Copies of this chain bind each other. A is one copy, B any other.
Amino acid sequence: MLAPTHNVKKVAEHRQRILSILLNNDELVDGILGRASDEHTLSKSELLNQTAEITSLLEDMHAADLADLLEALPLDERLALWRLVGVNKRGHTLMEVAEPVWDSLIEEMSDKDLLKAIKTLDVDEQAYLAQYLPRNLMGRLLTSLEPDRRAQVREMMHYGKETVGWMMDFELVTVRPDVTLGAVHRFLRLRKTIPEATDKLFVTDRKNGLKGELPLTTVLLHEPNILVKDVMDSDPTTFQPEDKAEDAASAFERYDLISAPVVDAKGKLMGRLTIEEIIDSVNEESDSNLRRLGGLSPEEDVFAPVSKAVKTRWTWLAINLCTAFIASRVIGLFEHTISQLVALATLMPIVAGIGGNTGNQTITMIVRALALHRIESGNISHLMFRELGVALINGIVWGGIMGVVTYLLYDDWAMGGVMTLAMILNLLVAALMGVVIPMTMVKLGRDPAVGSSVMITALTDTGGFFIFLGLATIFLL
Contacts and interface: CB of A to CB of B under 8 A. Distances in A.
A265 interface: no
Interface stretch (A35-43, A65-73, A121-129): A65-73
A303 B360 CA distance: 18
A477 interface: no
A247 B8 contact: yes
Interface stretch (A107-115, A345-353, A436-444): A345-353
Interface string A390-404: 100110001001100
A217 B216 contact: yes
Interface stretch (A144-152, A202-210, A287-295): A287-295
A344 B20 CA distance: 51
Contact of A353 (B185, B324, B366, B369): B324
A256 interface: yes
B372 A347 contact: no
A463 to B, nearest CB: 13
A368 interface: yes
A316 interface: yes
A235 interface: yes
A310 B388 CA distance: 11
A135 interface: no
Interface string A356-389: 0110110111101100111110110011001001
Nearest to A305: B386
A360 to B, nearest CB: 6
Q: Which 7 A-B pairs have the closest CB atoms?
A: A294-B364, A64-B254, A23-B378, A345-B345, A324-B353, A6-B237, A306-B389
Given A96-B254, A295-B361, A328-B350, 10 more contacts: A6-B237, A19-B378, A73-B379, A295-B364, A310-B394, A317-B357, A320-B354, A327-B350, A331-B345, A349-B465
